[in-house]
Each structure stands twice: as C-alpha cells, then as structure tokens.
Amino acid sequence: MPRKIIIDTDPGKDDAVAILLALAAPEAVEVLAVVAVAGNVPLARTAANAAALLELGGRTDIPVYPGCAAPLTRPLVTAEHVHGETGLNGLELPPPARAPEAEHGVDAIIRLLRAEAPGTVTLCLLGPATNLAMALAKAPDIAPRIAEVVWMAGARSEGGNVTPAAEYNVYTDPEAAAVLLASGLKLTLMPLDLTHQLLVTRERLAALRALGTAAARATVAMFSEIDGTPQREREREGIPLHDPTVIAHLIDPTLFGGRQINVEVETASPFARGMTVADWYGVTGRPANALWLNAAAPDRFFALLEQRLARLP
C-alpha cells in the first residue's frame, strides 16, 4: 500500500524534480496535497509553480494550497540567483488550468492530518519548515497523527550553501527548524552531506534527455546550460540534486544510510544563523532527535530517477 504524503515545497528547480518523482511512483507514495511555502521565490510564484508541475505530470486532481508567505520571525531570503526569477530557470510552463486553492496551507495540513488515521501521513518538506511549525503551534493535536517528517535540510561536513555555516532551507527560517527539531516527531534529514554526492553530470543529463518524456525534458532544461553541459555549483562538475532525495528515500530507503543523532539549530549568532549542529559522535549526551542520512548510492539514485521519469507523460 502506498504511503500517504503531503509535499510542502518552494519550487525551485530541485523541488520540481522531487514533485515529478513523487507523481511517477504511485506504488510507493500517494500525494494527498501539495502545500506551497515562500522560499526559493515568493509564495505566489511557488504556489503557481507547484500547480503547473502537477499539470506537467498529469495530476491536476491533486490540490495546491498556498501557505506562509514569510518565515516565522524574519524577512524572507529568496534564491533567485540559483533558481531564476520564476524559480524554474530554463523551463517555461503554461499557466496551470487549476489554480491554487483558497484554503491556507497551514489549515490544509491540519485538516488533512485530522481526516486521516493517526500515523498514516508523512510530511515531505522540500523548503523552509515554516508551514509545519505554524501547524504544530496552531494545532498541537496533529503531532501524534504524523507518521514521519522527511526534510531536505542541514549540513555538517559540507558547511553551508547560503552562508559558510548554513544550508538554505534551515537558514531561511531557523526558528521553524528549531520547532521541528524539538517536536519529538519522527524526523529524517537529508543534508548537504548527502545531496552533494548526487551530481547531475553530462552523462546523467544525456541519459535523461534520451528518455524523451516531457518530465525528463523539463529536468534537463532546468539543470543544463545552453550548450547541454551541466550547470555548476562552485567548483563541482555538476549540480547537486537536493530535494528529490526526500521522495527517493520513501521509494527505496536502501539508497541512503546514516544514523540517529542529536541535531540542534543556531538561531542567535549573526555568523552561524541556521547552522545545524549535528552531534555525529554523541559527544553532547543529548538524546537523538533525527535520522541523519549522509551516505548515498549515486548511480542507483539516478537509475531510479530515470526509471520513474520515463513513466510520466
């Protein structure tokens, strides 16, 4: 039986691939809804992008709910320098036929969790954790109803990708991250330590291009330069594919490895805002609160991505 999921996202190029991967794996996940959050680009854009991506994947039956337009206590820091003004740099999609819903995403999360049997819905977080933090504050009764939270967030050995210390999803709303890390929920983190092993290379782009599906072409358009070579992130030979790890983990948990550790987040320091303090060796004695995944099988991951994207229109 597929696992019921809610995707909380700020699309974003890698978010887009994660959404498409989820749509291509109905045997593993049932997408109840997509909830948008402000992050890579502002909320109006992330919600519209989510709806357009569902249409690209042939699933206009799945509703999109716009959530929080800003972090809990801080101004929004967007990432157009990475994702472009639209959030889907390189990809042009028509306006979606089905517009995002009027219900606020936080209320939708609460309603959907209360409607399903306790312990049956997994939250897949691909952006800042603002929506879930707000939902937990507004309706504490939903916490025991959540099966698991799988979040692309954090960094330890890789440092940060928005500051020397912090990964973007945590940096954007560290207070929301702190709520989540203190919540007691079953939490799995997919940090940069993991995702930086999963590079979109020239060979992997060629394999995706050869599929010929609209979903595969969209992925290639977002992650390749005009001449067909992979985009670069700093000195790397390709660009890391971050958010699809969340969905890939649900499809095949043997792709990644790690261990249960304690993770805290820095919210006060002006230099280390959003830093995830991952106690890999257990030196603090603090109890474990997250499964930290930092080992990957890149070839198997990209083989899974190719197989699934070949299923979509």
Q: For 166-289, where are the E strands, in sequence order?
A: 187-189, 199-200, 239-240, 256-265, 276-279
Contact 189, 287 (CB under 8 A): no
Kindly tell me if the per-residue pLDDT of 205 is higher than 80: yes
Tens of pLDDT, residue by residue over 14-55, are 999 999 999 999 999 999 999 999 999 999 999 999 999 999
Tens of pLDDT, residue by residue over 123-151, are 999 999 999 999 999 999 999 999 999 99
Nearest to 40 by CA among 4, 17, 9, 18: 9
Q: What is the pLDDT of residue 84?
A: 86
Mean pLDDT for 213-235 is 78
Nearest to 295 by CA among 242, 257, 246: 257
Interaxial angle between packed helices 214-223 and 13-23, expressed in degrees from 0 to 180 and rounded to the nearest 10: 160
H or E stretch at 65: strand 64-66
Domain ranges of the chain: 3-309
| Alpha-carbon gap, residue 245 to 242, rounded angstroms | 6
Q: What's the pLDDT band for 224 if we cut at 50, 70, 90? A: confident
Q: Which active-site residues does the annotation give?
A: 242
Q: What's the pLDDT band for 238 if we cut at 50, 70, 90? A: confident
Q: For 82-186, where are the E strands, in sequence order?
A: 121-125, 146-151
The superfamily in CATH containing domain 3-309 is: Ribonucleoside hydrolase-like (3.90.245.10)
